[in-house]
Amino acid sequence: MRIAVPNKGRLHEPTLDLLERAGLHVEDGSDRKLYADTVDPDVQVLFARAADIPAYVADGAAAVGITGRDQVSEHEHGAGLAELLDLEFGKCRLVLAAPEDGDVTEAADLEGGTVATEFPTVTRNFFAGTDVSPDIVEVSGATELTPHVEMADAIVDITSTGTTLRMNRLAVVEEVLQSSVRLYANPSRADDEKVRQLTTALESVLAAEDKRYLMMNVPKDRLAAVEEVIPGMGGPTVMDVDSRASSTPGDEGDDGQGAVAVHVVVDEREVFETITRLKQAGARDILVTEIERLVE
């Protein structure tokens, strides 16, 4: 199975990092290489321009590809690809923008006007859903400049924070498309065993993000109180432990029945408050660790 991934730019390293965390080590991820082997002898990585990856997948040169939704939406064969998973990085928006002090404040103002963009297909599809029919001019760079040199009345371009638009005195008129990096497959390969394995591995990494694994010892007579604090994912895991190691005679709250080990997965943002409440409920020896992968 071949996986097409971005060969350079802001998506290259995050993509390789995600594959690494999913257990699919790429032997040589240099952006000068055209392909690389992985730790799995049945899986190979192809390096391509993000904009070309939809073509690689659509033509069957790669079974799956990792690229932005914006690139797939722009490609003529993009609509035929199977979207398997939102990988939740590389987030951005395609927006319709116009000069801050100009006359264009809504899409309707562009009737008879001109829109410059590096995404003519996405732009045409956007205006096809309106009653507005501007001229679409394709440019290959410096899109923000075109309204200021009277090449266009507005632009459709990518923005993450809006800083570049503001620097060029452009204001967002409407949002055209929300994008992020996603896993796409050739429809004929979407159900292949290796493709399913890859999807599951990537899902497990995403599921583990922003989660923490808590382990603690709890006197048996305090277990009910602790369970009220951390229901966790399907409830905490409770295991008996050697009372000689986990309990000291005379400990407050110990009724001589020993202790149990309690394990639970919680959201990272809840860890601080949860630990405080666990201590109050009688838990001790609390250990917090990161989770690399979580298969649900």
Fold of 210-290: Alpha-Beta Plaits (3.30.70)
Give the residues across from 172 on adjacent strands.
97
Query: What is the mean pLDDT of the segment spanning 34-54?
Result: 94
88: left (phi over 0), alpha (psi -120 to 50) or beta: left
- CATH of region 2-90+180-207: 3.40.190.10
Residue 231 pLDDT grade (very low, low, confident, very high; cuts 50, 70, 90): low
Residue 124 above 90 pLDDT? Answer: yes
Structure tokens at 187: 């429809």
8 A C-beta contact, residue 155 and residue 107: no
Show the CA angle centred on residue 45, arms to residues 42 and 49, nearest 5°.
Answer: 155
Average pLDDT over residues 84-101: 96
In the prediction, which pLDDT does 148 show? 92
Residues of the chain with CATH 3.30.70.120: 210-290
Alpha carbon distance 111, 267 (integer Å)? 49
Token reading at 151: 């090449």
**So what's the pLDDT on residue 240?**
84
Q: Which fold has domain 92-179?
A: D-Maltodextrin-Binding Protein; domain 2 (3.40.190)
| 114-129: average pLDDT | 95
- pLDDT score of 172 more than 60: yes
d(CA 156, CA 49): 21
Domain with CATH 3.40.190.10 in the chain: 2-90+180-207, 92-179
Provide the pLDDT for residue 257: 65
Band of pLDDT at residue 230, cut at 50, 70 and 90: confident
Instruction: Determine the Cα–Cα distance for residues 135 and 144; give it in Å rounded to an integer.
Output: 17
Q: What's the angle, vertex CA 216, arms to CA 210 and CA 222, rounded to 5?
A: 120
